[in-house]
Amino acid sequence: MKPAEPQRQLAAALGRIPSGLFILTARRDSQETGVLVSFVQQCSFEPPQISFALKPDRPLAAWLTAGTSFALNILDDTQTDMVAHFGRGFALDQPAFTGLELERSEGGNPILSEALAYLECTVSARHPAGDHDLFVARVTGGKLLNEGSPMVHVRKSGTHY
């Protein structure tokens, strides 16, 4: 076996951990934006909480301090256009929702009307975790918007997107 083979096998095995694809949206004053996130998991029943990981250099990460509210838009398995639209993220002063139909959560965060569902959340904690930051957020509300199946993603390699 070549020396690189164990690393390739590890990357392939790690990539087989399935994850959903979600759009995290937030508003601050008159600015609002969104970014694609995939490392998301429910992590508590009571209180209801989720965890997610985001690269700290993503512009939206600067807004996600303790107590900040945001919305997690759960994509339907047909919404590959949303993945392409939000995949690279947006600068905080760039319009992120041009041409998209929006609703507002109780907290005022943008909600993608076409999403399968959304969760309104508040950041509880943030921890450095390798090349990403790990966030824990309390779920404060949510709603099923449409019928369908959530988008699930399986990577060929667990070493990159």
- Residue-wise pLDDT for 38-85, tens only, equals 999 999 999 999 999 999 999 999 999 999 999 999 999 999 999 999
- The tally of domains found in the chain comes to 1
pLDDT of residue 1: 47
pLDDT of residue 57: 95
pLDDT of residue 60: 96
pLDDT higher than threshold 60 for residue 88: yes
* Assigned domain for 72 exists: yes
* Assigned domain for 13 exists: no
pLDDT of residue 159: 78
pLDDT of residue 3: 53
User: Could you give the C-alpha distances from 104 to 73, 99, 119, 130, in angstroms and in order?
Assistant: 12, 16, 12, 34
Residues 6+ apart with CB under 8 A from 11: 157, 158, 159
User: Could you give the C-alpha distances from 84 to 33, 93, 117, 121, 153, in angstroms and in order?
Assistant: 15, 19, 19, 24, 14
* Assigned domain for 5 exists: no
Question: Between β-strands 31-37 and 22-28, what pairing exists: parallel, antiparallel or unpaired?
Answer: antiparallel
CA distance 29 to 50: 25
* Assigned domain for 10 exists: no
Share of the chain above pLDDT 90, in %: 80
* Assigned domain for 69 exists: yes
pLDDT of residue 109: 96
* Assigned domain for 158 exists: no
Residue 133 maps to which CATH number?
2.30.110.10
Q: Which two tokens stand for residue 97?
A: 């929702």
* Assigned domain for 126 exists: yes
Question: In terms of residue numbers, what domain contains 29?
Answer: 19-148
